[in-house]
Structure 1
Amino acid sequence: MGLPFPIFTWWNGATFGTRMGLRGKKRVGEDSLGNLYFEGGRDPNGIPRRWVIYKGSNDASRIPPEWFSWLAHQIDGTPDESLPPVRAWEKPAEPNLTGTELAYRPPGALEKGAHRAKATGDYEAWTPDA
């Protein structure tokens, strides 16, 4: 797309202005999806400010749970140093699939043919006279 593309597009990674705003901030890590995490400065309450720069589309559901806990100040250190190792039975986090082909569609949804199971006969419509 060329050089000017990241200057104007906020939905696909960081813009030029965001990158300039992160000058002097400390890069603290990178997750398995390639998102970069930064820390620096303090807010008016004295809490350190933290940022994520997405690799690809800007979708908050693409932040793994361990890094979300760091961004939300639930843990002080990075996930590598503050959290226990991942257990064998844990599944990897999935991004929000709404609006994609992999989204959940219940029986009877238009995308699944719009055919619902027959009623079981235990339904009786309400009438005001009853």
Structure 2
Amino acid sequence: MPVFKSLLTWWNGATIGTRFTIAKRGRKVGEDEFGNIYYESRDNISYDGRKRRWVVFNGYAEASKVSPDWHGWLHYTFDEPPTEAPLPRRAWEKDYLPNLTGTPMAWRPPGSLARTGERPAATGDYEAWSPE
């Protein structure tokens, strides 16, 4: 089934063309906690002379699944990948979470139709309008 998916869809991991490019020109640099695999080209094939960098997503292709340290490496903010030179963690930083909008784990406020559909009882300062 995974081979069939890669033939017909681009959003479920690498396509056949991407796999061919990886085998021919790519060098695996690392993998993150979400299972995404990061690559760098073996030769300078970019228009500006830098080695191209790309990610193959584990599962659905969602850009917010790339953590900040790998994002910095992909966009040439850092020369060394996080596997070689990880970013220092501050005490106040939270763990990275991808964007959960549109997933079953998305936040749904009280009273929304996606949650229970029942809104909290109105407080005493509310007066319903009635026509005269």
**TM-score for the superposition, normalised by structure 1:** 0.76
Between the aligned partners of 2:117 and 2:2, the Cα distance in structure 1 is 44
Determine the C-alpha separation between the residues in 1 that align with 2:13 and 2:84: 27
Equivalent residue number for residue 47 of structure 1 = 50
1:29 counterpart residue number: 30
Write out per-residue CA displacement over residues 72-107 of structure 1, whole angstroms, 9 at most, x where no aligned residue. 111111113333444566433212211222211223
Q: Does 1:102 align with 2:105?
A: yes
2:4 partner letter: P
Whether 1:93 and 2:96 are equivalent positions in the alignment is yes
Question: Residue 37 of structure 1: SS of its match in structure 2?
Answer: strand
Moved more, 79-88 or 64-73: 79-88
Per-residue deviation, 1:68: 1.1
* Secondary structure of residue in 2 paired with 1:13: coil
Which residue is 2:8 aligned to?
Answer: 8
- RMSD between aligned alpha carbons? 2.6
> Which structure 1 segments of 5+ residues have no match?
126-130
- Structure 2: where are the runs of 5+ without partners? none
CA displacement 1:23-77 (0-9 Å, x = unmatched): 2222111112221111113422223211101121111111122111111111111
> How many residues align structurally?
124
**Percent of aligned pairs with the same amino acid:** 43
Separation in 2, partners of 1:5, 1:107: 38
User: Structure 1 residue runs of 4+, over 6 Å off?
Assistant: none
Question: Structure 1 CA distance, aligned partners of 2:105 and 2:10?
Answer: 25
AA at the equivalent of 1:36: I
Pair 1:78-2:81 in alignment? yes
Q: Distance in 2 between matches of 1:25 and 1:3?
A: 20
SS at match of 2:18: helix
Is the partner of 1:34 in helix, strand or coil? coil
